[in-house]
Chains A and B, each alone.
Chain A
Amino acid sequence: MKFNHFIKKSLTRQIIALMGVFTLLFLAGTIILTLLQEHVNSSYYKEREKLVKKEEIVQQIDHDFNLVFFNVRGYFAYNNSELKNQAASLRPGIRKLISEYNRIAATPEDKAFGKEMDEFADFYFIERLPASIEYFEAGRMDEVIKLADSGATARINSFQDETHDYLQNLHKELNDRVQSLIIKQSYIQTGFFLFLVVILVILFRMIRIMFKKIGQPLTQFANAAEEIARGGKAELHVGQERMDELAVLSTAFSKMVRTLQEKEQDLLAQNEELLAQQDELQAQREELEEVLGTMRSNERKLERRNELINGISNSLQKQEVLESIVNNMCYVIEADCGLIVMLQNGESASFGISALGVEQFNNHLASGFIDRLKQTKEGFTVKRQLLQEEKGYHERTVFGYDLYLPIISSNQEVTAVMVFTRFGFPFIQTHMDEYSALSKQIGLSLDKISSYENSEADRKLNQDILNTVKEGMQYVDRDGCILQVNKQLCEMFHCQDGFAGIVGQTWDKWSVLLKKQVVDEDGFTEFIWRAFNGETSSGETFVYKTKDRGHVCQMYCEGLYQNNERVGTVFVHRDITKEFKVDEMKSEFVSTVSHELRTPLASILGFSELLLNRELKPEKQKKYLMTILNEAKRLTSLINDFLDVQRMESGKQTYEKKYIELLPIIEKVIDNQQVQTDVHRIILESFDGNDLILGDSSKIEQVFTNLISNAIKYSPSGGPVYLRLYEENSLLHIEVEDHGLGIPENAAADIFNKFYRVDNSDRRRIGGTGLGLSIVQEIVRAHDGYVSFKSKYGEGSTFIVSIPGVYKPSHGLDENIHQSGTRYEVLVIEDDQSLAELIIQELTENNLHAKHFNTGRDALAYLENHLPDAIVLDIMLDEGLDGWSIMKILKRNEVLSHIPIIISTALDEKEKGLSLGAHDYFIKPYQTGSLSLAILQTLLKVGKAGQILIPENSPGD
């Protein structure tokens, strides 16, 4: 009973118990059935073994007897005693087998058969066989046969039959046993099947029990829980008699449901109470909100007032401040529109008023209100009827109230006035104090702005002055902080944000910013530090190089004193790159010239000395003299180069330009140059175009001599030098191409500069003054052309000379002119009569038609109706207009400005003449014929000549 109770209290235990009983049943059934099977099988095998054993023995006995009979008969037949002995030897075996059989014989039949076999053996071996053998040996064969016939043979046969019968019975018995085993086996199988069925039934029962005990109550719980969750009521019907966990759960669940229901009641009650409280709170809140609203509006007013003050104190932009004043004032004093006007310059800002309104007000400023404000310096209000546009859609009369407020500066002057208007409700007189307080505040800030504006204007003026200075300047206060810089300084040091990027920087920052851009950082820092501390002597300078562009700058510093107290330092940075470069180039030039001149000089002097002081063989003498000659030539050409450059620099180089063919000149230069070298081949590519230019042939020759000798010099290992001519864009281009050292990229910009030589150890052995290319450029430019080059460092260079090509008349000038029937008209303005006649004569000789005037006025009058092809102009004229004025007048006139002007004067002001637009400038006296040539060349250049000078069959006609 107690155990039963123990099991019932736990579901787990119940399940374990059920499972246990089931397992026990299953095991017991299985064991019993297995044992039974085992038993049936073993008893069958035992029986079978016995029967088989018996069978084997009987068969052996039968076999042995047969052998005995066989041998005995053989003995009798052949009288072979061997056979007799064999028969005798089988006897003990047979006896042994028989006695073995008797031992295992169980049934009465077996025992009877055993006795029978014993008896037969006795009969045969004891009774008959000895007797037969005795008879046989005695030779009494008949007796033997008689004995046999007397039943011995019959007995043997019957024994053999019996034996066979017995064996057959044994077989039958074996079969019976097998049959009975099969039947038993099938019984046992049926038993197994039934057992399984029973077990399944029991299992099913168990599941049913578990479902009833657990599943059903759980479903009930679920339904009940759901019902409660939905808010309904639910009862549980879990068996009262149960004692397990479900019973406990059910009790707890019921209790919980009860508690929940009680709580719900409580909450409902509380809720009602809270609702009542909330109503009360709502009322309180509304009350508070009302108070808060008032506070907020006050606060907003204060904020606006703050904003007004912030707005006018935060900005120094006058217009911005004025607008902020009007907007904020309107809000603060609750005006509908407002206006502020500066009396001094009429600057104004408004709120709610149209531009027209503002203008009208400004126009009437001088009327009474202003005077009153100026006199009383106190604000006042005015009531008036609103204008139609102010009233808007209101029909009845509405009054507006204007508040006039003066703004008074620190020196008690009215500097500005403010007017604010309320539509429909008046300004309260008691608020006037507040209004005037505000206006005072505004006055103060306007004062501040005006003083700021003054100082700003001063500062700007100072800055502008500073910016005009070419040097970079910075002013550092005594704490090391930068107070002011000028534009140049910002540019020199790449201040990214302009002044803002550097002004106001402390010593630590700006000194680093600047020194980073200087090559000698430490030297720079040391100098500015010494200068800042006043340790530099006056006039001491520091020269530094900038990192990025390699500019060279010179810096000096001056202390700034106020009342004998040092208040700061001014640093001045002067860009001396140009001077520095010129200096550098000059000294390099001096050194080069010195070297270049001394080398040939050393040869000339040395060899002369040897010639004078030594006895030399004639060949040697000749060799030395040749050397002296060559070196002297080299000296001459060097000196000529220097002189050329000098001439060109001073603008004194003259060019005698004629129509010249380029090819023959180039061929000549090539011939001269080819002689100088064995390793180079100078190749002129064929060209059959027009090679005519207007130029000075000796100068042009110099251009190509320089270029080709450069090509040879700068390709020391030899190779071809190509010359190529081609026409493009009416320019004649001549290329000189070598495959030598090439020009390094960094040298490209300076290559045409005077004295410039590519600094490179490879090139130092290549002589030269650094003047060749600069001379080339100068000459080509004088021919209205240009030189360019392309080069790849290490692979060679190509220099290209581009000069305008021209076409020469095929039949000569005269014929053309006669053929076309036109002659160029040249206006000659010259007051010296005899000179004029000379000029006219020269022009006429050259088939130009001269028209002469003594004064500019007459000439200008003529020009109103005529368009000559060129004008020859004297500068110093007797009456009124001089040559310069005439030129200016002509150049201003659209039609006349295109007429070429050739100046013919005693004044040496060529540059002025050319800059004013003259095409050529002749200083009297000049060679006869040169004026006409210049005019023709000019006409050729401006394209006038094309109509008559170009032959009929040439292209471009």
Chain B
Amino acid sequence: MKKILIAEDEEILRMLISDTLEDGDFSVDEAEDGEEALQLMEKKQYDLVILDYMMPVLTGLDVIRKVRSGMNQNKDVKILMLSAKSQQNEQEEVLNAGADYFMVKPFSPLQLLEKVGEIADEV
């Protein structure tokens, strides 16, 4: 069973993502903001982290930078970034910072599920 962490401040979207992933063979943890996500990563090794870009306390970008700088065991975890902003430069910024995948909001749950499935197979 692959372990997935969802960090998203909008409760409804969090529910949408976790419900989407329900069918697959995943164990899902949820975080309300960047800081909580980091705290969870401190304790557990994940296979995939789904991050929202705009989050309070710590943005998705902050989280990526911290994780990639090796502050916990998830240094090399796969990261999928979700963002409402679709500007090209933002996508680049996120990928440069160390995200592996980028998905624009609003997203299709089925596509997300498919993507997550692919990533899980790779890992």
Contacts and interface: CB of A to CB of B under 8 A. Distances in A.
A770 to B, nearest CB: 15
Contact of B13 (A599, A613, A614, A763): A599
B71 interface: no
Contacts of A759: none
Contacts of A763: 56
B10 interface: yes
Given A610-B16, A765-B56, A602 B85 contact: no
B84 A610 contact: no
A605 interface: yes
Interface in B57-113: 57, 84-85, 105-110
A609 B109 CA distance: 7
A595 B9 CA distance: 13
B30 interface: no
B110 A609 contact: yes
Contacts of B55: 764-765
A765 B58 CA distance: 11
Given A594-B84, A606-B20, A764 B54 contact: yes
B106 A601 contact: yes
At the interface, is chain A mostly helix, strand, loop or mixed? helix
Nearest to A627: B12
A591 interface: yes
A627 B10 CA distance: 13
B16 A607 contact: yes
Given A594-B85, A606-B108, A764 B56 contact: yes
B19 A598 contact: no
Contact of B85 (A591, A601, A631): A591
Given A595-B85, A609-B110, A602 B54 contact: no
At the interface, is chain B mostly helix, strand, loop or mixed? loop
A761 interface: yes
A762 interface: yes
A595 B56 contact: no
B108 A609 contact: yes
A603 interface: yes
Interface string B1-27: 000000001101101100110010000
B105 A599 contact: yes
A606 B106 contact: yes
Interface in B24-53: 33
Contacts of B108: 605-606, 609
A684 B21 CA distance: 46
A591 B106 CA distance: 15
Given A594-B84, A594-B85, A765 B105 contact: no
Given A598-B105, A610-B20, A610-B109, A761 B85 contact: no
A606 B10 contact: no
Interface string A624-650: 000100010000000000000000000
A598 B85 CA distance: 9
B84 A599 contact: yes
A605 B109 CA distance: 9
A602 B13 contact: yes
A761 B56 contact: yes
A606 B8 CA distance: 15
A598 B84 contact: yes
B16 A602 contact: yes
Nearest to B54: A595
Given A595-B84, A627-B12, A613 B110 contact: yes
Given A594-B84, A595-B85, A765-B33, A610 B19 contact: yes
Contacts of A605: 106-108
A11 B59 CA distance: 114
B18 to A, nearest CB: 11
Interface string A741-772: 00000000000000000000111110000000
A769 to B, nearest CB: 14
A594 B86 CA distance: 9
Nearest to A595: B84
A83 B107 CA distance: 160
Nearest to B10: A599
Nearest to A623: B15
8 contacts: A599-B10, A603-B10, A604-B106, A606-B106, A606-B107, A761-B56, A765-B9, A765-B57
Interface of A: 591, 594-595, 598-599, 601-607, 609-610, 613-614, 627, 631, 761-765
- 5 smallest CB-CB distances across A and B, nearest first, come from A765-B56, A602-B106, A598-B84, A595-B84, A606-B16
Given A594-B84, A595-B54, A764-B56, 9 more contacts: A591-B85, A602-B13, A602-B106, A603-B13, A603-B16, A603-B106, A609-B108, A631-B12, A765-B55
